[in-house]
Amino acid sequence: MKRLLTLFWDRVAAVTCVVVAVVTLVVGWVQLSARSQAGDQIPYIMSAGIGGLFLLAIGLTLWLSADLRDEWRKLDVIDESLRRLAGDGGPDGGIDDRHPTISLADDALPSLPRPAGARQ
């Protein structure tokens, strides 16, 4: 369990924020509906409403961040596999990522279908 919390801390934090936000919004709504005067309702709107929406936004941002981090990990694995297949063994194998070389030979460019009626 501790290992899962260590690995997925961002998802745990996201779910916690969303649950606290829902509880805050529900409690605020119950308290708000019990008041009939608009002046008595404003503190509940300010504290529970805005606070709940803020926590909800933080939770959703954390979840999105965790998803993006997973995607970057997958892309790193794909990149490492492609480097191994290319035979250079990884980042230390001679490819300079800061200055990639691009071949502009006609055979290196992808062949795209021409639209109907286009001149050559």
Q: How do the domains of the chain map onto residue ranges?
A: 2-87
Return the pLDDT at 114: 64
pTM attached to this predicted model: 0.61
According to the model, what pLDDT value does residue 6 have?
80
Please give the pLDDT value at position 86: 86
Q: How far apart are CA 103 and CA 106, in angstroms?
A: 9
Separation of alpha carbons 66 and 73, rounded Å: 11
Yes or no: say if 49 and 25 are a contact pair by the CB < 8 Å rule: yes
User: Residues 6 or more apart from 95 whose CB is under 8 A from it?
Assistant: 83, 88
Q: What is the pLDDT of residue 66?
A: 92
Low-confidence ranges of the chain (pLDDT < 70): 88-120
Q: What pLDDT is recorded for position 11?
A: 92
Closest CA to 62 of 6, 22, 17: 17
What pLDDT does 115 receive? Answer: 66
